[in-house]
Amino acid sequence: MNISTILDMAAEAFGDRTAVIAGDSRLTYAELRQKAHAAARVLRDSDAKYLALLDVNSPAAPIAVFAAAYAGIPYVPINYRLTRDEINELVERVAPALLIANEETRARLDARADVQVMSREAFLALPVDDSAEPPQPDEDPRAVAVQLFTSGTTGKPKAAILRHENLMSYIVGTVEFACAEEDDAVLVSVPPYHVAGISAVLSSTYACRRMVQIENFDAASWIESAEREQVSNAFVVPTMLSRIVEHLGESGSASRLPKLRSLAYGGGKMPQTTIVSAMRLFPAVDFTNAYGLTETSSTIAVLGPDDHRAAASSEDADVQRRLISVGRATGAVEIEIRDDDGRAVPPNTAGLVYVRGGQVSGEYLQQGSLLDGEGWFSTRDRGWLDVEGYLFLDGRADDVIVRGGENISPGEIEDVLLGHPAVADAAVVAVPDEQWGEGVGAAVVLKPDARASAQELQELVKTRLRSSRVPQTIVFRDALPYNETGKVLRRVIRQEFGKP
Amino acid sequence: MSKIALKAGGRFKSAVCDAQVMVIKAPAGEYSLACGGADMIAPTAAAAGTLDSALSDGTLIGKRYVNADESLELLCTKGGKGTLTFDGTPLEVKQAKQLPSSD
Distances (CA, A) of A199 to A50, A144, A264, A358, A371: 19, 15, 13, 15, 22
Supply the pLDDT for residue A154: 55
Supply the pLDDT for residue A104: 96
Under a CB-based contact definition with an 8 Å cutoff, are residues A206 and A9 in contact? yes
Under a CB-based contact definition with an 8 Å cutoff, are residues A471 and A459 in contact? no
Q: CA angle at residue A127 from A123 to A128, to 5 degrees?
A: 110
Supply the pLDDT for residue A488: 85
Which pairing describes strands A423-433 and A437-446: parallel, antiparallel, or unpaired?
antiparallel
The residue in chain B having the minimum alpha-carbon distance to the alpha carbon of residue A5 is B77
Supply the pLDDT for residue A428: 94
Write the ipTM: 0.94
Every domain of chain B and the residues it spans:
4-92
Supply the DSSP symbol for A296. Answer: G
pLDDT in tens, A418-447: 999 999 999 999 998 888 888 999 999 999
Which pairing describes strands B30-31 and B4-5: parallel, antiparallel, or unpaired?
antiparallel
Under a CB-based contact definition with an 8 Å cutoff, are residues A162 and A145 in contact? yes
Every domain of chain A and the residues it spans:
4-216, 296-398, 400-496
Instruction: Return the number of other C-beta atoms located less than 10 Å from residue B38's C-beta.
Output: 21
CA of A361 vs chain B CAs: smallest distance (Å): 16
The burial class, CB within 10 Å (0-12 / 13-18 / 19+), for A1 is buried
Nearest residue, CB atoms, B99 vs list A141, A174, A266:
A174
| Residue type at position A386 | D
CA of A434 vs chain B CAs: smallest distance (Å): 46
- What is the Cα–Cα distance from A43 to A57, expressed in whole angstroms? 21
Contact B62 A200 (CB under 8 A): no
A148 forms beta bridges with A160
Task: Specify whether the backbone of A291 is left (phi greater than 0), alpha (psi in -120 to 50) or beta.
Answer: beta
Instruction: Return the number of other C-beta atoms located less than 10 Å from residue A196's C-beta.
Output: 27
Supply the DSSP symbol for A24. Answer: T
- What is the Cα–Cα distance from A395 to A377, expressed in whole angstroms? 17
Supply the pLDDT for residue A434: 84
CA-wise closest residue to A73 among A41, A49, A52: A49
Supply the pLDDT for residue A500: 41
Per-10-residue mean pLDDT, chain B, length 103: 89 96 95 96 90 94 96 97 96 82 77
Supply the pLDDT for residue A499: 46
Distances (CA, A) of A286 to A201, A213, A310, A444, B11: 21, 21, 12, 32, 37
- Domain A400-496 fold is GMP Synthetase; Chain A, domain 3 (3.30.300)
Q: Which of A4, A5, A287 to mutate to test the interface with B (most CBs of B within 10 A)?
A: A5
| Chain A, chain B: beta-carbon pairs less than 8 Å apart | 89
Instruction: Considering only residues A391 and A137, tell me which one the structure prediction assigns the higher pLDDT.
Output: A391
Name the strand (E) or helix (H) holding A168. helix A164-174
pLDDT tier at A11, thresholds 50, 70, 90: very high
The edge-to-edge listing of strands for the beta sheet with B11-13 is: B11-13, B20-25, B73-78, B64-66, B92-93
Under a CB-based contact definition with an 8 Å cutoff, are residues A480 and A425 in contact? yes
The residue in chain A having the minimum alpha-carbon distance to the alpha carbon of residue B10 is A1
Report whether pLDDT(A486) > 80. no
- What is the Cα–Cα distance from A18 to A240, expressed in whole angstroms? 26
- Per CATH, the number for A296-398 is 2.30.38.10
Under a CB-based contact definition with an 8 Å cutoff, are residues A28 and A17 in contact? yes
- What is the Cα–Cα distance from A5 to A66, expressed in whole angstroms? 9
pLDDT tier at A152, thresholds 50, 70, 90: low
Q: Where are the alpha helices (DSSP H) in A208-259?
A: 219-228, 238-250
Supply the pLDDT for residue A372: 95
What mean pLDDT is predicted for residues A457-479? 93
Contact B8 A141 (CB under 8 A): yes
Share of chain A above pLDDT 70, in %: 98
Coil/strand/helix, residue A329: strand
Under a CB-based contact definition with an 8 Å cutoff, are residues A174 and A206 in contact? no
Report whether pLDDT(A217) > 80. yes
Under a CB-based contact definition with an 8 Å cutoff, are residues A400 and A416 in contact? no
Report whether pLDDT(A153) > 60. no
Chain A hits for B63, CB-CB cut-off 8 Å, are: 177
The residue in chain B having the minimum alpha-carbon distance to the alpha carbon of residue A195 is B103
Contact A196 B103 (CB under 8 A): yes
Chain B hits for A172, CB-CB cut-off 8 Å, are: 24, 64, 75
Coil/strand/helix, residue A89: helix
Contact B22 A177 (CB under 8 A): no
- What is the Cα–Cα distance from A238 to A333, expressed in whole angstroms? 24
Domain A4-216 bears CATH identifier 3.40.50.12780: yes
What mean pLDDT is predicted for residues A202-230? 95
What mean pLDDT is predicted for residues A354-374? 95
- What is the Cα–Cα distance from A192 to A184, expressed in whole angstroms? 21
Note every long-range contact of A354-358, with CB atoms under 8 Å and residues 24 or more positions apart, other chains counting.
Answer: A354/A378, A354/A379, A355/A296, A355/A300, A355/A329, A355/A379, A357/A169, A357/A173, A357/A296, A357/A300, A357/A332, A357/A333, A358/A165, A358/A166, A358/A169, A358/A170, A358/A173, A358/A332
Question: Which residues of chain B from 8 to 37 reach within 8 Å of chain A, CB to CB?
Answer: 8-11, 22, 24
- What is the Cα–Cα distance from B13 to B39, expressed in whole angstroms? 9
Supply the DSSP symbol for B57. Answer: S
Report whether pLDDT(A54) > 70. yes
CA-wise closest residue to A416 among A482, A493, A469, A348: A469
Supply the pLDDT for residue A440: 94
Average pLDDT, chain A: 92
The edge-to-edge listing of strands for the beta sheet with A363-364 is: A115-119, A97-101, A50-54, A75-77, A144-150, A158-163, A363-364, A368-369
pLDDT tier at A498, thresholds 50, 70, 90: low
Report whether pLDDT(A404) > 90. no
